[in-house]
Amino acid sequence: MCKTCGDLPEYIHCCESLYQILIKFGRTEVIDNTLNPDFVRKYILNYFFEEKQNLRFDLYDVDSKSPDLSKHDFLGQVFCTLGEIVGSPASRLEKPLGYCTWPNLTTELSLSLSVFNRGIAGKKCGTIILSAEELGNCRDSATMQFCANKLDKKDFFGKSDPFMVFYRSNEDGTFTICHKTEVVKNTLNPVWQSFTIPVRALCNGDFDRTIKVEVYDWDRDGSHDFIGEFTTSYRELARGQSQFNVYEVVNIKKKMKKKKYVNSGTVTLLSFSVESECTFLDYIKGGTLSYQVVIHLAFTPSLGNPSQSTSLHYMNPYQMNAYAMALKAVGEIIQDYDSDKMFPALGFGAKLPPDGRVSHEFPLNGNMENPYCNGIEGILEAYHQSLKTVQLYGPTNFAPVVNHVARYAAAVQDGSQYFVLLIITDGVISDMAQTKEAIVNGAKLPMSIIIVGVGQAEFDAMVELDGDDIRISSRGKLAERDIVQFVPFRDYMDRTGNHVLSMARLAKDVLAEIPDQFISYMKSRGIKPNPSPPPYTPPGHTHHTQI
């Protein structure tokens, strides 16, 4: 029995192992008397690029009509993620069935997935073929425009600089940000530009799901003033401009304090339209998209001596440091979409042996000719080794590595590759002007930049680079699109010390914008996905296993 949650055989997927409880989502039909079953029944699952969605498939030989699986012969099982299936060529994943027997249920859980995929030495358990296809209602994108009237005045020397933040509700009652409007300066009656957002991002296909909208007054220091909020749904918005789509903006705190309080203004939907578009999965399934992930880690002295427990680079033998957690959280998800799982991993702000020269693009594995590491574990190993050989020095320069990735992206602008640069740093940036110029130039290329800030430093510069509130510019030139996503890791640390939960939260927010950033590049260049290859049909069969 799992000592943390008390669960029985499903325990492999919970608590100390994966911190995710396994929930059964269905059984296939039974196919009699065959060693090559071809199941027809399909299952509908919600797919999120930004989450690691673990799956387990168990295969049984049915001996009776009993629903109790212990009454039947267990043939084998497969572990994978939904991302693995979606990210495979033609969204078709083939894996060998592994055979396992349940370990002693009182044993402490420290088992990894690979243990159960190995099978019995010398025994072939068969192969399972899994394929995924996107449902049609995920293809719609909604274009809408809003204005506001008589919003609260928040600025002492002016009016307000309002912007809106849209959130979709989740199954557990929490909310996830899905869109921010631009800031309209010095007005209480703003008219925001129209924007387009995928319906799946807005309501995940549930037209009656609550959509929360918060209205803020923008402040340069990032401490935006809350004006008020309102709720709606996709079904309500789809009515278009009407009396039903005029919303009162309410500030609950003000309402509780003031008896005569009515509202903090109103927001009106000016227009609403829907069209079907090519989706992120269309590009993956058609083989148009291959992610090229580049890792970049800070080795600056502000991070502290790696041998001291106060350092952000400190290698605790019992748990990962913030750098390793951020790397693992993001990398384990995005590697499902990288065809060869080989990642160039670089460091910056360190003195290198033997001559002590300062470098802002040195390979973590020490190989200048081949900086590629095998998978996330390979990067972590190279990172640990580099801490023993280089000297933390500084400064923190982002521009060299942004330009480095941009050079590769500039050579492949046909949509066949998309580059994702992951930078993990303590937030003290030294070449702000050069970095802003590099990002503005990179916004025209097939690339996105993820910045994870670790530690307790001020991240004002990173927030500016993010460009969610105000699009980044350099020398009077505005970035063509938003390609930077910044998050401070400290905001995602679980208060109970559950590091796996912290990593899952981080990955969910830091990767959420990647699909839309990719689509925005493809649309701006008029690049369409390749036709999907025909569904796989085994010899002599007419169907294949699907989820």
Query: pLDDT tens across 329-371, in order?
Result: 888 888 887 778 889 999 988 899 988 898 888 999 999 899 9
pLDDT in tens, 264-309: 999 999 999 998 778 888 888 776 556 678 887 888 776 677 878 7
Residues 295 and 401: their CA atoms lie apart, in Å, by 10
Q: In percent, how much of the chain has pLDDT > 70?
A: 86
The DSSP secondary structure of 197-216, one letter per residue, reads EEHHHHHTT-TTSEEEEEEE
Mean of the per-residue pLDDT values for the chain? 81
Say whether pLDDT at 478 is over 80.
yes
Task: Residue count of the chain, please give it.
Answer: 547
Q: What pLDDT does residue 444 have?
A: 95
Residues 50 and 52: their CA atoms lie apart, in Å, by 7
Please tell me whether the overall predicted TM-score, pTM, comes out greater than 0.85 for this model: no
Say whether pLDDT at 58 is over 80.
yes
113 pLDDT tier (thresholds 50, 70, 90): very low
318 pLDDT tier (thresholds 50, 70, 90): confident
* pLDDT top residue among 107 and 447: 447
Please state the rounded mean pLDDT for residues 501-527. Answer: 86
Whether the CB-CB separation of 297 and 346 falls below 8 Å is answered with yes
* pLDDT top residue among 174 and 1: 174
Q: What pLDDT does residue 301 have?
A: 73
pLDDT in tens, 66-106: 888 888 888 888 888 888 888 887 788 888 887 544 332 22
Most confident region among 8-22, 251-265, 274-288 by mean pLDDT: 251-265
Question: CA–CA distance from 190 to each of 151, 216, 246, 261 (Å)?
Answer: 9, 12, 14, 22
Name the packing angle between helices 322-334 and 375-389 (round to 10°).
150
Q: What pLDDT does residue 546 have?
A: 30
The superfamily CATH assigns to domain 280-525 is von Willebrand factor, type A domain (3.40.50.410)
Q: Amino acid identity, residue 54? A: N
User: In 475-493, which positions are buried (b, 16+ CB within 10 angstroms) versus exposed (e)?
Assistant: eeeebbbbbbbbbbbeebb
For the chain, give every domain's residue range. 10-131, 140-276, 280-525
The superfamily CATH assigns to domain 140-276 is C2 domain (2.60.40.150)
Residues 450 and 304: their CA atoms lie apart, in Å, by 23
Rama region for 519: left / alpha / beta (φ>0; ψ in -120 to 50; rest): alpha
